[in-house]
Structure 1
Amino acid sequence: MTAFQPFHSAVNRIPVPREQAQKKGYSSDLFEDDVAPAHDHLAAERWTGSVDLKITVKTPLVFGEQSAEPSSSREVNKQGRPCVSLPVDVNGKVIVPPTMIKGMISRAFETLTCSRFRVFAGHDEPLTYRVDLAQANGLFPGVVYYDDEIQGWAVEILNGTGTKNESALLRDSAREGVGRVYLEEHFEIKPRNGGKYPDEDQVLSEFRRRTPHGQWTRAIVTKWRGKSGPVTLVTHLWNERRKQFERFFEPPKGVGSANKIEVYGFPCRTAPPGKYARDLYQDKKYERFFFKAQRTKDDLIVRGTALELPSDVIEKYVNVIRSYIEMGGQEKGRHLLNRAASCVDRDKVGELSENDLVFAVLDRKELESTNGEVARNVEVKAILPTMVGRRAYECSPTELAAQQGVLPVGSKDRASAADRVFGYVVPSPELGAVGGDVASRGRISISAVDSSNAVVSRDRRDLPPLLSPKVSSARRFLTDSSGKTPLTSSGGPLRRGDYFREGQYLGSACYPVHRNQLGKNEFPKGNQEELGAKDGESSNDAVRLAVKSWIKAGSDFKCTLRYQNLSRDELAALLWVLTPENLVPEEERDSSSSKVGYLRMGLGKPYGLGVVEVRIVGHSLKARSGADLANDYVLLESCDGLDRQDTSPVDFSLPKEDLLMKEPWVRAMQRSAYGYAGRREVRYMTLDENRANNLTDARTSEPKRGRGISPRELFGEDAGVPLTIQDPDRNDKKNNRNGGRQHRGGRQGGHHGNTHHHGRRH
C-alpha cells in the first residue's frame, strides 16, 4: 500500500431515504410501516414454504467467540492476547451458527427495503470530533460563574484589550517558546550551586507556582511583533510582598518597540495539576492567560461582557468532557487527559463550578452584525475545555435518525419490512407494554448448517484490530436527502463542524467487496496507516487478533431457509437478495450474465474477509399459499414441509423492479456487493493522506481546495472511480504553513462590556 495513490474506501455508506421511498408508490409490504402478522394462523393469501441454500466461501472466513490466550510475553497485557477460533462439535466438525446465516440475509433484506435500523444503541448524545488548530481562531476566552440575576450559569468573556478574541500566552517551557527567560531580580529565588542568578528551570518553577490555574492574577502582558506575527505574552507578575511587578520573561533582542499593559485575569492551564503543557502533547509550549480587566483613568477595573449559558450548551460541554474520559479509558492511559476531564468524579462529569475557565464559541452572524464586538445579546453556541481538542456536533445520531424515520421500531404498528419478516425486539418498551410492543418473532428460520465441505485451516494468521465503524467519522456515514454527500451551497465540502446538522441523513455502513482478493486465501497486512491508528499501535501484537483457525476460500455450506406467512412481495424480495446475479450493478453487467455479487459474514469485513456467494439450490423452492395449504389438509394430500411440487423463483418477481433498480440505495447495495472493477486497492486512508485531506483554511476553517474529500458515492456515474488524495507539494506546504496557527489579537473593537455582575464573587 502506497500513500497518495488511487484507492477505493474500505468503509462506505448506503443511503436510507425511507420517506422518499414511501412516497414513490412502491409495494407497501416492502416500504411501509405496519403491524407484523400474528402467528396464530396462516393467511389465505400469504405464502409458506422453504428453499435450500448453498453458501460458497470466496475469501477467508473468520468467526467464533473471541477470547484471550495466555502469554508469557511482558509486552502483552494481563488479559492475554485476543484470539478467535472456529467453534467445533465433539467430533471436531465446524459449527456454523444458523443465526449468523440469518443475520447476513436479514441485513441484505433490510438494505433492499429501506427498513429501519434494527440495531442502533448508544447514540443519544451528540458525538464529538477533534478540531485542527485553524478552527481555534474564533474561540473567546471566558470564565464561568453563577449569575443570581438570571438564576443560572453565565460566562464572562475576557477577550483581552477589547479585540475579538485575544488571550495572552503563558509560557510553560524553560527552553522553548517566544521571548527570553529573565534571570535577574528574583530576590525570593535562591540560586543553585552558589550562582549569581537562578537558572531558567528555577524561574519557570516559580512562575508556575505564582500562576496556578483559575486564580485571579495581577500581571503585565507585553505585546510585540514577532517573526510569525503579533505576540502577547505574560511577562510580569505582581509581587504582593514587595508591592511591585516582578519580571519573568522579556521580548527577544531586536524586536523593536514593545507595549506593556497592566491587567487582571486568570491563568488557564489545560494540563492537569502537576503536569506541563508538553505532557498533553509534545509540541505544546504554552498555556493561556485570560484577561480583560484593566484600569481606567479613574482607576476603575473594567470587566468583560457576561453572556447567559443555555442548557443545551451546558449539555454539550458535558458530552465533550465525557468523550475525553471515555477515550482515555479506551486508550488505557496512553494519552494524558486534560484538566477538565482528569479532575472530575464519575458522578460529576462536566459539572460546572464557579470560576471554571472555558473557551466559548459565539454566534458568528451576531458578531458580524456588531462588527466583532461582544454585546450582551450575543448567543453562546458552545463552551469547550481546551482551545484545540474535541467539540460536540450540533445533533446526535439519534436525533438525525428520528428525523429520518430510521430509529428501531418503538411500537407494533411501526414495524418496517425487515422487522416484520425477521422479527424485532423494541429497545426501550414503555412500562406495562405487552405483545408486539415488546417483541415479535420473525417468520424466517434457518436449519442446522451442513459444513461437511468446509476446509479448515489452522495456519495461524493475524488480523489488525477489528475497529468498529466510528460514526463520528462523519464523512463516511452522512448523506443528504438524495443519498449523496452533503455539500455547501456552493458545492464544496463541509467544514467538520457542519456535519451532524438538521437535514442530514445517516447512511447504512457497508464494506465493499475487494474483488482482487476473491478466490485467494490471503489475509490483510494491516499496518498502522491502513488502520488510521497511532504510531506503533498495530505493530503491537497485543492489539492484533490471533486467528487460530479459519475456513478457506472454495469451501461451501448448505442449509434450508424456512418461511411462513409471507406476502408475495416479501417472498419476492427475499428471493431477490438470494440471487447473486441481482447483486451486480447495471454498468458491470454483460450479455453472458455470468457476473455475480456477494453477501458478507464473519469478522474482518473491512479487510476483504467473509465474502460469500449465496445461491438458491436449483428446483428447491417450495411455496404454498395459505389457501392451498388449507385445501391440501382438507383433502389429506399435503401439509407444510411435505410439499409435493417445487416452485420457480421467477414466479415471484419484485413489483416495479425496473424502477427499483434505478434507486440510489439499490444501486449502492449492488456496488457494495459486487465491488470495484480494476486493480485499485480497497483500503483505509493512510495517516499521511488523512492529514492532507484535513487541511483547512486558517481564516475560515473550511477545507482547502481539493481537501475534505468523502468516500465516493456508491451510485451514479462516478461510483466506480477511485479516490485520490493529493500529496501537498512544496508550494502547497509553504502556502499552508500557517494554516494551523492561531491568530492572536485582531481588530480593535473598543467594547469593554458591563462593569459589574450581580452575584459575582472574586
Structure 2
Amino acid sequence: MPREPFLNPYTFVPAFPRDGLPEAFADAAPAGHDRLHPDRWTGAIAVKLTVRTPLLLLDTPRASVADRGIEGHLTYPLLTRDGQPHLPATSVKGMLRSAYEAVTGSRFGVFTGHDAPLGWRRIADDARIIDKDNGMFPIRVASVDEDADEIEVDLYEVARLPAYDVPPVTYPSGEQPRHGEPVRARLVRPSMRNPRGNQFRGPWTVTEVIPLGEGSLAPAGPGERVATGIACVTGRNAIGKTHERLFFSTERPRRVTLHGQCKRWRDLMQSYRDQHEDEVPQRKDGKRPDEWRADAIGEVELSPHIHDDERARLTRGTLCWAKKEQGDIVGLYPVMIPRDVGGVPSDMLPDSLHPASAFDELSPADRVFGWVAPEGAGTRPSAYRGRLRIRNVACQPGTTVTEFEGDGLPLSILGQPKPAQGRFYLADSPDKPDVPLRDGMPKGEIFQGRERGLRGRKFYWHHRAVADDKTYWKLPKGPEDPTQRPVNDKGFREYRRPREAAGGNSPVPLLSQDGRAFRTTSDQRDNQNRSVQGWVDRGSQFTFTVEVRDLDGTELGALLWLLTLPEERFHRVGLGKPLGFGSVRLDLDPSGTSLHRGDVWQAHYRTLAGNLPAPNPADWDELRAAFEETSRAVPELRKAQEAFLEAAAGLADLPVHYPRTRPKKLRPGGPTPPDPRGLSYEWFSQNERMRGGEIVRGHGRSLPAPGEAGDNPLDTYDA
C-alpha cells in the first residue's frame, strides 16, 4: 500500500529546564505596583484580530439537550452580547498567556492533577513465560504488612482451565470451579502446531477436576499430572477468551518476600478505576458488587478487580500474577495481560518549570500575567496581580455568522488527553524535551526508563491545507454523508461527526457501493460529542486593547513579538482547536497604540502639561528585535520559538486528523475517510504491533517534533 501520511492535531512546544537562563528570563521577584519605574513601559496596544478558520464561541450556560440526541447529548448556541458574537477577554488573555509562556521559556502557570503514575496497557507478549527468570508467573499472597510495605508470596505453576466456547471442565456435579476454590485436578499437555506446522507440547491443561477433600482422582497416567491447586477466575474479560486458570503445585510452593509492592498495587488499581470510571455504574439498587459481572461492556465483561472492592485489595489469599525480569519480581498484577503504572508526570517536569511556589521565583509570564501560589504552598505574599489587561474586545462591522438549524451541527468527538500514549507525550529525558522517543522502542522501556521527561506544552496545528477552502467549511445539501468524500483533494470534513455506521459497530464495516467510503445512516448525537448552533465566519474581525503597566523591555518585547508574528502565522482561540476551528491572525494597530517609558510618564504627571508626547513606533520595533535577538541566542528558547512558529503556520500538504486505520476492504487508490465507529484506539494498537518479540518495522512511531512532522509524518495503518 502507498503511504497515507497525516498530521496529528496536536504537537508540543518543548519546555526546557530554566536553569542558566539569561537574567531577563530568569526567576525574580516582580516589580511593585506602587510606582512607575523610569526604564519600564506603560501604555496601550491596539490589536486587530482576524478570523482565519471558523471561530467557535459557545454559550455553555445556555446549553440544552438536543431533541434528537441520546444519552444527554448537548447542543450549544453561539455566545452573543447585544446581538453580536462575543469574544470574552479571558479567552484572549488565556491565548496570549499560553503563547507567552512557551516563547519565553516561563514556568507553567498551572500544573495540577499530574501526581498519579501514568497508567498503560502491557502487550500480549508480556503474558508469556519466557523462561524461569522472565515472564508472568502465578502467585498467591501469603501475608501483607501495609505499614512496612512488605508482602510474602508463594510461587505456583499454571494450567489452563477450559471454561468458555469449548467444552468446559466441571465438577462431577456439573458446576464450574469458582474463584479461589481449592481443587484436585488432572493435567495434560496437548500436542499443538505452530503457524509453520511444527509440532510442540502445549501448556498444561485441566481435563478433570474435583473440589479438594470431596473424593479422589485416579493416579496420573503417562504424560499426566494430578495436582492440588486453586481456581483463578476473572470472567470473560477478553475477546475470544476460552479458558480460566488453575494455579497448582506438585510440591510445597516457594515463598518470596517483596518490598514496595503495596503502594504500587494501590496505584495500579486506581489506574484501572480511572480508566473505566464511565463503565462502572454507581449502583443504588442494593445489588451486590459481584452481580455487576453480568454487565457486558461491548463483547467483554469488566474484570472483577475493576468493580469489586474485595478483588481489588491485596490481602492474604489474593491470586494474581508476578512479572519477573532477570529473576527479580518487578510487579504484581491482577490479570495476565494487565495495565501497568510508570513514572509520575509531576516528577518528570523539572522543578524550574513547576508553578512558582514563592514570590521571588516568578518567571516572565508570571510577572506579566499574574500569579497565584499553588495550593498548600503556605507562602506570603501568595498572589501577584498581573500587569497586563485585555480591554474593549469588540466585534467589528461586517462580521458574519453561520447558523445551524434545529439541534445544530454535530461536531466530531474531541480526543481526550492520553498521557498513557508515552510515544506521544514523553521525551527521552527532561533535559531534551525536543527529542522524541526513538521509533520502535519497546513499550516497556518507554515507561520504565530511569529518567523520562515531558515533551512540553501542547499546541494545536493550524489547519493550513483547508483554512482557505470555502467548500470545506460549507456543508453540502443532500442525502450523502458530508464527511465521507474528500473536499477538493485536501482532506475530509474532520470537524463534523460522521453519521452512524450502517450495521452498527461491526468489526467488518459496511462500505459504499464504490468501496471508497463507509456506508452511514443518521446523525450520531450522544454523550461522546456535542452539537453547535453557529460559528463566527472566516474573515470576521474583532478589535481589543492590551493595557500594560511597568513592563521591562524584554517583557514588552516578547508581547510585541507575539502580536506581530510573521505572515501566515496564526494563534488559536476558542473551542474545537483540534478540529481546525479558531485560527486567528493578530495585527498591531499603530494608530491606537501608545507606549511610553516610566520617565516620560513621570514628567507628564509632574507638569500635567496636557497630552503625552507622540508615541514612536521605532521604539516598538527595537523592543521586538531586541527580544528576538536576546532569546534566539539561547538555544533552548530558539527551539521553543521555532516549534511555536511551525505549529502556527501548519503544513500545506498534510491533512490534520486524529490517528485512524484503513479498513481491509476499502478500495485502494483513495484516502481513508473518517470511521463512523470511532475506534481511534486501533491505530495505537497497531502502533505497538509485535513480531518475533520486536516492534514491527515502520511501527512503534513516536509523535514527530514540529520541525520534523513534514519530513517524517505519521502514517495511516491498515486495520
Closer/same/farther in 2, CA of residues 596 and 660 from structure 1, 3 Å limit: farther
Q: Is the 8 A contact 2:183 2:211 kept in 1?
A: no
* 1:599 CA displacement: 0.3
Closer/same/farther in 2, CA of residues 237 and 149 from structure 1, 3 Å limit: same
Alignment partner of 1:69 out of 39, 64, 73? 64
Q: Which residue number in structure 1 is paired with residue 424 of structure 2?
A: 476
Alignment partner of 2:617 out of 625, 632, 647? 647
Other structure's SS at 2:441 match? coil
Q: Which residue number in structure 2 is paired with residue 605 of structure 1?
A: 577
Distance 2:159 2:280 in 1: 34
Q: Is the 8 A contact 1:486 1:494 kept in 2?
A: no
Distance 2:36 2:142 in 1: 66
Q: Which residue number in structure 1 is paired with residue 510 of structure 2?
A: none
**Which shifted more, 149-158 or 280-289?**
149-158
Q: Which residue number in structure 2 is paired with residue 541 of structure 1?
A: 525
Q: Is the 8 A contact 1:528 1:535 kept in 2?
A: no
Q: Is the 8 A contact 1:221 1:262 kept in 2?
A: yes
Other structure's SS at 1:470 match? coil
**Superposition pairs of residues 116-195 of structure 1, within 5 angstroms:** 116-137=107-128, 138-146=135-143, 153-160=150-157, 167-173=158-164, 175-176=165-166, 189=173
* 1:466 CA displacement: 2.6
Alignment partner of 2:226 out of 262, 283, 291? 262
Closer/same/farther in 2, CA of residues 142 and 657 from structure 1, 3 Å limit: same
Closer/same/farther in 2, CA of residues 182 and 357 from structure 1, 3 Å limit: closer
Other structure's SS at 1:116 match? coil
Q: Is the 8 A contact 1:88 1:94 kept in 2?
A: yes
Alignment partner of 2:330 out of 381, 384, 387? 381
Closer/same/farther in 2, CA of residues 704 and 39 from structure 1, 3 Å limit: same
Q: Is the 8 A contact 1:52 1:616 kept in 2?
A: yes
* 1:514 CA displacement: 0.9
Distance 2:605 2:415 in 1: 53
Other structure's SS at 2:643 match? helix
Matched, 1:458 2:403: yes
1:58-117 C-alpha deviation (Å, 9 max, x unpaired): 1111122436523455x612xx3122222222x322221101001111111111011122
Alignment partner of 1:407 out of 350, 354, 363? 354
* 1:551 CA displacement: 0.4
Closer/same/farther in 2, CA of residues 287 and 244 from structure 1, 3 Å limit: same
Closer/same/farther in 2, CA of residues 722 and 239 from structure 1, 3 Å limit: closer
Question: % of aligned pairs identical?
Answer: 25
Q: Is the 8 A contact 2:427 2:433 kept in 1?
A: yes
**AA matched with 1:14:** V
* 1:321 CA displacement: 1.4
Distance 1:500 1:723 in 2: 26
Matched, 1:631 2:603: yes
**Which shifted more, 475-484 or 121-130?**
475-484
**Superposition pairs of residues 94-133 of structure 1, within 5 angstroms:** 94-133=85-124
Q: Is the 8 A contact 1:170 1:234 kept in 2?
A: yes
* 1:153 CA displacement: 3.8
1:531-555 C-alpha deviation (Å, 9 max, x unpaired): xxx9599974113211112101110
Other structure's SS at 1:448 match? strand
Q: Which residue number in structure 1 is paired with residue 391 of structure 2?
A: 447
**AA matched with 2:27:** D
Q: Which residue number in structure 2 is paired with residue 682 of structure 1?
A: 656
Distance 2:358 2:556 in 1: 24
Q: Is the 8 A contact 2:144 2:314 kept in 1?
A: no
Other structure's SS at 1:381 match? strand
* 1:694 CA displacement: 1.5
Cα RMSD, aligned residues only: 3.2
**AA matched with 1:96:** L
Q: Which residue number in structure 2 is paired with residue 426 of structure 1?
A: 373
Other structure's SS at 1:266 match? strand
Q: Which residue number in structure 1 is paired with residue 318 of structure 2?
A: 356
Other structure's SS at 1:515 match? coil
* 1:448 CA displacement: 2.3
Q: Which residue number in structure 2 is paired with residue 504 of structure 1?
A: 452
Alignment partner of 2:554 out of 566, 569, 576? 569
Closer/same/farther in 2, CA of residues 130 and 624 from structure 1, 3 Å limit: same
Closer/same/farther in 2, CA of residues 169 and 404 from structure 1, 3 Å limit: farther
| Residue ranges of structure 2 left out of the alignment (5+ in a row) | 129-134, 195-199, 282-296, 474-492, 508-521, 661-679
Q: Is the 8 A contact 2:143 2:153 kept in 1?
A: no
Q: Is the 8 A contact 1:43 1:565 kept in 2?
A: yes
**Superposition pairs of residues 694-709 of structure 1, within 5 angstroms:** 694-697=688-691, 699=693, 702-709=694-701
Alignment partner of 2:47 out of 50, 53, 56? 53
| Residue ranges of structure 1 left out of the alignment (5+ in a row) | 161-166, 190-202, 251-256, 272-276, 295-300, 368-377, 582-594, 730-762
Distance 1:104 1:321 in 2: 37
Other structure's SS at 1:63 match? coil
Q: TM-score, normalised by structure 2?
A: 0.79
Closer/same/farther in 2, CA of residues 245 and 604 from structure 1, 3 Å limit: same
**Which shifted more, 320-329 or 39-48?**
320-329
Distance 1:500 1:638 in 2: 67
1:483-516 C-alpha deviation (Å, 9 max, x unpaired): 344446xx85342552374432212112111101
Alignment partner of 1:340 out of 277, 286, 305? 305
Q: Is the 8 A contact 2:8 2:656 kept in 1?
A: yes
Distance 2:717 2:435 in 1: 23
**Superposition pairs of residues 557-596 of structure 1, within 5 angstroms:** 557-581=542-566, 595-596=567-568
**Superposition pairs of residues 235-274 of structure 1, within 5 angstroms:** 235-239=207-211, 243-245=215-217, 259-271=223-235
Closer/same/farther in 2, CA of residues 259 and 51 from structure 1, 3 Å limit: same
* 1:129 CA displacement: 0.8
Closer/same/farther in 2, CA of residues 452 and 486 from structure 1, 3 Å limit: closer
**Superposition pairs of residues 303-342 of structure 1, within 5 angstroms:** 303-310=253-260, 313-331=261-279, 334=297, 336-342=301-307
Closer/same/farther in 2, CA of residues 697 and 467 from structure 1, 3 Å limit: same
Distance 2:146 2:40 in 1: 67
Closer/same/farther in 2, CA of residues 140 and 85 from structure 1, 3 Å limit: same
Closer/same/farther in 2, CA of residues 145 and 727 from structure 1, 3 Å limit: same
Matched, 1:622 2:594: yes
Q: TM-score, normalised by structure 1?
A: 0.75
Matched, 1:85 2:77: yes
Closer/same/farther in 2, CA of residues 539 and 125 from structure 1, 3 Å limit: farther
Closer/same/farther in 2, CA of residues 607 and 155 from structure 1, 3 Å limit: farther
Distance 2:55 2:540 in 1: 9
Matched, 1:669 2:644: yes
1:122-163 C-alpha deviation (Å, 9 max, x unpaired): 110101012221122322211123268996542424242xxx
Q: Is the 8 A contact 1:58 1:553 kept in 2?
A: yes
